[in-house]
Structure 1
Amino acid sequence: MMADNDLRLTIVEHLGELRKRLIIAAIAIIAGSLASYNYVDKIIEILVRPADGLEFIYLSPPELFISYIKISLVVGIVVSAPIVLFQIWMFIRPGLKEKEQRYVLFAMFMGIVFLVMGVVFAYFIIIPMTIQFFVKMTVNGIEPLFSFANYISYISSILISFGVVFELPLIVILLTQLGLATPATFKKHRKMVILGIFVVSAILTPPDVVSQSMMALPMIVLYEFSIVIANMIYKRKKIDA
Structure 2
Amino acid sequence: MSTSQEPENHMPLLAHLLELRTRLLRCVITVLVVFAALFYFSQDIYAIVAAPLRTYLPDGATMIATGVASPFLTPFKLTMVVSLFLSMPVILQQIWGFIAPGLYKHEKRIAVPLMIASIVLFYAGMAFAYFVVFPIMFGFFASVTPQGVEMMTDISQYLDFVLTLFFAFGVAFQIPIATFLLAWTGMVDVATLRKSRPYVIVGCFFVGMLLTPPDVFSQTLLAVPMWLLFEIGVIFGGIIQKEQAANKASEEPSSEDDNTEQKPPVQS
Match of residue 33, structure 1, among 32, 35, 41: 35
**TM-score, normalised with respect to structure 1:** 0.88
Are positions 1:153 and 2:160 aligned together? yes
Q: CA–CA distance in 1 between the matches of 2:142 and 2:109?
A: 48
Percent sequence identity over matched residues?
Answer: 33
- Is the contact made by 1:205 and 1:212 (CA closer than 8 Å) also made in structure 2? yes
What is the total number of aligned residue pairs between the two structures? 233
- Greater shift, 87-96 or 201-210, is seen at 201-210
2:89, 2:119 within 8 Å by CA — same for their partners in 1?
A: no
- Correspondence for 2:147: 140
**Aligned partner of 1:184: which letter?**
A
The alignment status of 1:182 with 2:189, answered yes or no, reads: yes
Residue correspondence of structure 1 range 5-154 to structure 2 within 5 A: 10-51=12-53, 52=55, 54=57, 55-154=62-161
The CA deviation string for residues 148-200 of structure 1, in whole angstroms up to 9 with x for no partner, is 11111111111111111011011112222333323211112223322332332
One-letter amino acid of the structure 1 residue matched with residue 101 of structure 2: P
Determine if contact 2:129/2:165 at 8 Å carries over to the other structure.
yes
SS class of match (2:29)? helix
Shift of 1:221: 2.3
Name the amino acid aligned to 2:23. R
Cα distance in structure 1, aligned partners of 2:142 and 2:93: 43
Distance 2:102 2:242 in 1: 30
Residue type at the aligned position of 1:200 = V
What secondary structure does 1:57 align onto?
coil
Higher mean displacement: 128-137 or 165-174: 165-174
Q: Do the aligned residues in 2 keep the contact of 1:127 with 1:158 (CA within 8 Å)?
A: no
Q: Structure 1: any 5+ residue segments left out of the alignment? A: 1-8
Give me the whole-angstrom Cα distance separating, in 2, the residues matched to 1:104 and 1:38.
Answer: 37
Gaps of 5+ in 2: 1-10, 249-268
Structure index of larger Rg: 2
Q: Secondary structure at the match of 2:138?
A: helix
Which residue of the partner structure matches residue 225 of structure 1? 232
- For residues 227 and 110 of structure 1, do their structure 2 counterparts lie closer, same or farther at Cα, with a shift above 3 Å needed? same
Structure-2-length-normalised TM-score: 0.80
2:84, 2:222 → 1: CA distance?
A: 24
Change (3 A) 1:205 1:53: closer
* CA deviation after TM superposition for structure 1 residue 236, in Å: 4.0
RMSD over aligned CA atoms reads 2.0
1:53 shift after superposition: 5.6
Distance in 2 between the 1:77 and 1:98 partners?
30
